[in-house]
Structure 1
């Protein structure tokens, strides 16, 4: 079975941003892109009437993406069901799933939608959550920097592997970041330890096997002396992609990933394992 990149869409501009990001990844990975629009069951006029013809929505997105990426193969799907379940079911054949942080049905002021949260918390493949961009901002381009959250004492190997591979695909620097509040407890401002400190050496030791596996990826390590949410939210302002691991057996996204998803300024990859 051929692998694909899956993107879930609706009629919102947020979904268009996610679709554009997904298309770029599909091109870099030399994979087809599957565009999925899920209609909820029991719509007021049946599947075709809620509240528009869904095949038209996916066809419009597909046309925009193929115009931007002429060599991209795009598949269109418009099933009926519970969005989180339907989209999550595509994980078995997907390199990754891409969603907007929230869809058109999200309440005003809601930073993280229920579908995005549920898929990222349960999918068996990496899930990338793409935040909205200002209306006058340019679409995201090739990433020059990727940031991976690393617990130097117990690293999430799946997330590290995804981060290194993404950095290779993008020709980007990989910023590995371990965050831990110092003796004074949690800080709201980010400060960094010296790289020659004990924690800095531990992080370098943790990352070294991956550097040997990916010798062309340029890496630098940082140890932030604050809580991980503060450190990662701050890092999201200057990076093209944040990568976090999701522990096996974890309930939901987990408090750190959930909080980071609500504050991130860049796409956030949640990687199982």
Structure 2
């Protein structure tokens, strides 16, 4: 089975937090934990690559040239970024997934559902949407009926994206959440009690990657970036 790979260890706070998280993940998945010198040159695939990150202003998460940014950009496997202020609590009751219901990432959906299944917790699927172009410039605002119609459509899109995965993981409870926010605002609002936040990495998903960057500046949970 594919191992869990720890990309950063050592005695620093991010290193210790990442090492602890990786050890728990490997035990949960029933696989070995490996600590190669260069995860990107490691032969084969990994269940997940784990990397510690600092939230200090002097060393912002995913800064250019950092190990975490390199892994997120180049890895073919899910990369979990573990902040130094990681908080573990029984009150963290779900896996939060940022999903673009128009172009859903099967890789991110599969990883999020599997992560929720392994932990025996709920999946909180968050879809961010915006009003149609030009709606904000209407002289009398957006009629409530139009907004409700648009939102119903977004809810249907999210339901359609989740349907095959709910059938594949029938034991995972799912909360569908459609937010009239940017991806960043949506994740910041929805991740306070998350044990893990999952976002896709794809050419059309840059907004979710920016959301992950913003989340890591204040997050107390791990954030997974999953390449499609």
Give the TM-score, by structure 2 length.
Answer: 0.81
C-alpha distance 223-238 of structure 1, shift in aligned 2 (>3 A): same
SS in 1 for 2:11: coil
Query: 1:242-270 deviations in whole A, cap 9, x for unaligned?
Result: 1011116989x954443444443321000
Task: Check the 8 A contact 1:6/1:34 in 2, yes or no.
Answer: yes
Corresponding residue for 1:267? 222
Q: Secondary structure at the match of 1:93?
A: coil
Q: Distance in 2 between matches of 1:107 and 1:198?
A: 40
Separation (CA, whole Å) in 2 of partners of 1:254 and 1:16 = 25
Give the secondary-structure state (helix, strand or coil) at the position aligned to 1:155: coil
Asked if structure 1 preserves the Cα contact closer than 8 Å seen for 2:129 and 2:154, the reply is no
Query: Secondary structure of the residue that 2:126 maps to in structure 1?
Result: strand
CA RMSD of aligned residues (A): 3.0
Q: What is the CA–CA distance in structure 2 between the aligned matches of 1:16 and 1:200, rounded to whole Å?
A: 40
From 205, 229, 249, the counterpart of 2:160 = 205
Distance (Å, rounded) in 1 between the aligned partners of 2:3 and 2:92: 21
How many residues are aligned here? 211
Partner of 2:73 in structure 1? 121
In the other structure, the counterpart of 1:82 is: none
CA–CA distance in 1 between the matches of 2:110 and 2:194? 18
Quote the Cα distance in structure 2 between the aligned partners of 1:14 and 1:257.
17
- CA shift, 1:160, in A, is 0.2
SS at match of 1:197: helix
Q: Tell me, yes or no, if the aligned pair for 2:212 and 2:223 is still in contact at 8 Å.
A: no
TM-score by length of 1: 0.68
Residue among 227, 234, 238 paired with 2:189: 234
Whole-Å Cα distance in 1 between the matches of residues 128 and 83 of structure 2? 23
- 1:238, CA displacement in angstroms? 1.6
Which structure is richer in relative contact order (CA contacts within 8 A, separation 6 or more)?
2
Q: Which 5+ residue runs of structure 2 have no aligned equivalent?
A: 138-147
Match of 2:84 among 132, 141, 146: 132
In structure 2, the residue matched to 1:27 is 27
The one of 101, 106, 126 aligned to 1:152: 101
Question: What secondary structure, in the 3-state scheme, does the structure 1 residue paired with 2:178 have?
Answer: strand
CA contact (8 A) 2:199 2:209 kept: no
**Maintained 8 Å contact 1:91/1:125:** no
For the 8 Å contact 1:22–1:33, the answer to whether it is kept is yes
Once residues 227 and 249 of structure 1 are traced to their aligned partners in structure 2, the CA distance between those partners, rounded to angstroms, is 14
> After superposition, what is the alpha-carbon deviation per residue over 1:120-157, rounded to whole angstroms, capped at 9, x for unaligned?
121010000011227xx6x4569530011111111011
Match of 2:179 among 224, 230, 237: 224
Q: Distance in 2 between matches of 1:241 and 1:184?
A: 34
Larger of the two Rg values belongs to structure? 1
3-state SS of 1:226 partner: coil
- Is the aligned partner of 1:92 residue 2:44? yes
Checking the alignment, whether the CA contact within 8 Å between 1:158 and 1:272 is kept in structure 2 is yes
Do the aligned partners of 1:146 and 1:174 also contact (CA within 8 Å) in 2? yes
